[in-house]
Structure 1
Amino acid sequence: MNNIRHLLGLLNMCKSAGYSGNCWGYNFDWQSRAFYVPQYTPTIVNSGFIGHALLDAFQFTGDQKALDLAVPIKDFLLKDLHRTKDGDTFCFSYTPIDNTAVHNANLLGASLLIRLYKITGEQRLRDVALSSLAYSMKHQHDDGSWYYAETAMQSWIDSFHTGFNLQAIRWFLQLGEATEFQAAFERGVDFYAGHFFLEDGTPKYYHNKVYPIDIHSPAQAIVFFSGEGDAYQELTDRILNWTLKEMYDPHKGLFYFRKGRYMTNKIPYMRWGQAWAFHALTEYLLFRNTGGRLHAPQ
């Protein structure tokens, strides 16, 4: 508990200043394929993942500090991000300084809002979350897949972003919301399970290309399929066993960044590699040992 409170204090200190609500960005400049982001610019991805973790911490421990940090994230999402409209639906922007329509980012924000709605009872959070969700569901392909984003330069289909999409949609369904998308969710799960993994558990980066294998690919797969229960236990175990064999150094206790066809990049990035692998192992053990009971919705 003391460790959790220490981490909550660090998160509070690291918030991006000057925005409508609590939000977070990276402490370095970075360049995506579509736009440049200066250091400390908050993103829906950083803020969304942190928000979900804060709600989990509140759920597990009852610590009010976690909830107090999580709730104001809604103001950042609602007031500071741009929206790409499509009829009566819309897609959140990635940051306050871009206008891209990235599905995993949009769905991450929407899923956080629906969790916050269940806690606060604030109706507008539900309305916005459902409209944001509907945008990405409108752009789901008939086979259950999504492009990474709705621009020509970002029209690829990859493993871990597909997993992020599905995990966000699962929050809605677990909370009894947007049940009209249950069949679409199941098509997405079928596509994910059927197109991104080889027989030995090797996780492909793209639906039609194996390399480079990024640590995010097996990590997110383990997180997601652990939560899908017994039906995907065998697949989850295959992915986990492959990961421990091919991307883990048991002597140094770290996970590698990326594996190519002929060489492996063993740089132990803390956030990109170690944190996600730790998250994967935690979720795997949680669902294996408890059946996910600790993850029951609020």
Structure 2
Amino acid sequence: MGTTSPYTFDATAIADSLLAQSRLENFAGYDPFDGLNSVLFDRLGAKRFSLARIAWLQLHKRSPINLRGLVGVAKKRNPKGIALVILGLIERRRVDRIATELDEAVALGDWLLAQSVDRKVWRHYAWGYHFDWAARAFYVPCGKPNAITTCYIARALYALGNVTGFARFTDAAVDAGRFLDDLYVPTEDAGYYAYIPGETTLVHNASLWSAAVVAESAVRSNDSGMRERALTAARLSSSMQREDGSWPYGARSHHGFIDGFHTGYNLEALSSLQAAFGTTEFSRVIDKGMRYYRRNFFLPDGTVKYYNDCIWPIDTHSVAQAVITLLKVGGSDEDRTLVDVVLSRAHRTLYLANENRFAYQKGRWLTNRINYFRWTQAWAFYALSFYIAEASNWRRHCDEAN
């Protein structure tokens, strides 16, 4: 596998362009879920009404026309998006050790430390989104910490600390694991991690990623209680894997859907937890999940399906997680070949060559070309950087074998 696929897909040039564009915007941008940042919606007083919040958010998420400028939604930095950029910059160091890019990653890491929640209130480092977030299950005001954002930032800070040796990043990541551990919800005979403080909904990807980050913190701080809670949560979600290898999104009645990128999250999180603990306890669960993943989320032409039972929408985030899952959790020759085909297909269907970036989603009839930073470009940059680094490593391995 090389950085240029058999289909003339130039991953390096595209990753370079994505990074250059992100710099021009100072790593700020729009988000599919930032509609509630609207000045107009706030002035109308509609934020008081739950159904109005959900409807307004979904309007902006689903509209192929970007209305944000008209309703007063500003471009902003998203903490999770910044974490993805840091992860991408660190992957690039595996190929080219560019000092300025490491300096850039450090500056972004320091920005993330400054964006943490008030530790007098939450006790630990933790992060939320830069917008109010409304869903059927809960309403989360701007800045309130959540598991997934905190997990990805902790991962970026761990990676940054490992590369630089700067303790401030590693210490913050360990402490973020303690925040996640505070989200633990014990049940009669098991337990899991909640998505946000004060809620008890079981969402598998949030619980599993929390378990993986708590596992890393437990190892680094030698905390046996954290270790047991992480294992318990991983065992509970593993026990809820269906016989065919799939997971529904969560435990609530409206969480029965099965989609590709959340399935990828689950598999990557379990793999990361195993690596942290040096165990193979979840290998059979991962193997069964990977068989389901390969079989149900890819078409022969490389199209990445959004749902197990529906192709649409074709989504850049789904493609990015597919690249990471197939290479990091799978890693077979067949997986590497599939990644080449997946990226080639994404290049043909989602890449906007005249703008040097990816579209958000392609539906059956319409393509949503809105430029979303966190959901689209940051994920694409991270996935392509990881792909390039893995390709370089694979070439070295083959050269040494010969």
TM-score by length of 1: 0.93
Q: Is the 8 A contact 2:219 2:277 kept in 1?
A: no
CA distance in 1, matches of 2:186, 2:218: 22
**Mind listing any 5+ residue stretches in structure 1 that lack a counterpart?**
294-298
Q: Is the 8 A contact 2:109 2:169 kept in 1?
A: yes
Give 1:84 deviation, angstroms.
Answer: 5.5
**Mind listing any 5+ residue stretches in structure 2 that lack a counterpart?**
1-101, 397-402
Cross-structure match for 1:83: 185
CA distance in 2, matches of 1:291, 1:170: 20
Cross-structure match for 1:296: none
Aligned equivalent of 1:146, options 237, 247, 257:
247
CA distance in 2, matches of 1:175, 1:289: 25
Q: How many residues align?
A: 291
CA distance in 1, matches of 2:153, 2:258: 25
CA distance in 1, matches of 2:188, 2:280: 21
Q: Tell me which moved more, 176-185 or 284-293.
A: 284-293
Kindly provide the amino acid, as one letter, of the partner of residue 97 in structure 1.
Answer: G
1:96 partnered with 2:216: no
SS in 1 for 2:282: helix
Give 1:115 deviation, angstroms.
Answer: 1.6
Aligned equivalent of 1:21, options 109, 120, 124:
124
1:210 partnered with 2:311: yes
Give 1:130 deviation, angstroms.
Answer: 0.4
Give the number of the structure whose alpha-carbon radius of gyration is greater.
2
CA distance in 2, matches of 1:13, 1:24: 10
Spell out, residue by residue over 1:70-97, the C-alpha distance to the aligned partner (whole angstroms, 9 max, x if none): 1111221122x2516251x212111013
Cross-structure match for 1:289: 392
CA distance in 1, matches of 2:287, 2:159: 25
Cross-structure match for 2:9: none
Greater RCO (CA < 8 Å, at least 6 residues apart): 2
Q: Is the 8 A contact 2:260 2:318 kept in 1?
A: yes
Cross-structure match for 2:4: none
Q: Is the 8 A contact 2:191 2:233 kept in 1?
A: yes
Cross-structure match for 1:32: 135
SS in 2 for 1:207: coil
Q: Is the 8 A contact 2:181 2:193 kept in 1?
A: no
Aligned equivalent of 1:47, options 150, 155, 165:
150
Cross-structure match for 2:170: 67
Q: Tell me which moved more, 67-76 or 184-193.
A: 67-76
Kindly provide the amino acid, as one letter, of the partner of residue 124 in structure 2.
Answer: G
1:234 partnered with 2:374: no
Give 1:269 deviation, angstroms.
Answer: 0.7
Give 1:161 deviation, angstroms.
Answer: 0.1
CA distance in 2, matches of 1:190, 1:86: 32
CA spacing shift, 1:86–1:133, aligned 2, 3 Å: farther
Give 1:12 deviation, angstroms.
Answer: 1.2
CA distance in 2, matches of 1:70, 1:100: 24
CA spacing shift, 1:30–1:46, aligned 2, 3 Å: same
SS in 1 for 2:286: helix
CA distance in 1, matches of 2:156, 2:113: 13
Spell out, residue by residue over 1:145-164, the C-alpha distance to the aligned partner (whole angstroms, 9 max, x if none): 10000111111110000000
CA distance in 1, matches of 2:297, 2:175: 36
Structure 1 runs of 4+ aligned residues shifted over 4 Å read: none
Give 1:57 deviation, angstroms.
Answer: 1.4
Give 1:214 deviation, angstroms.
Answer: 2.1
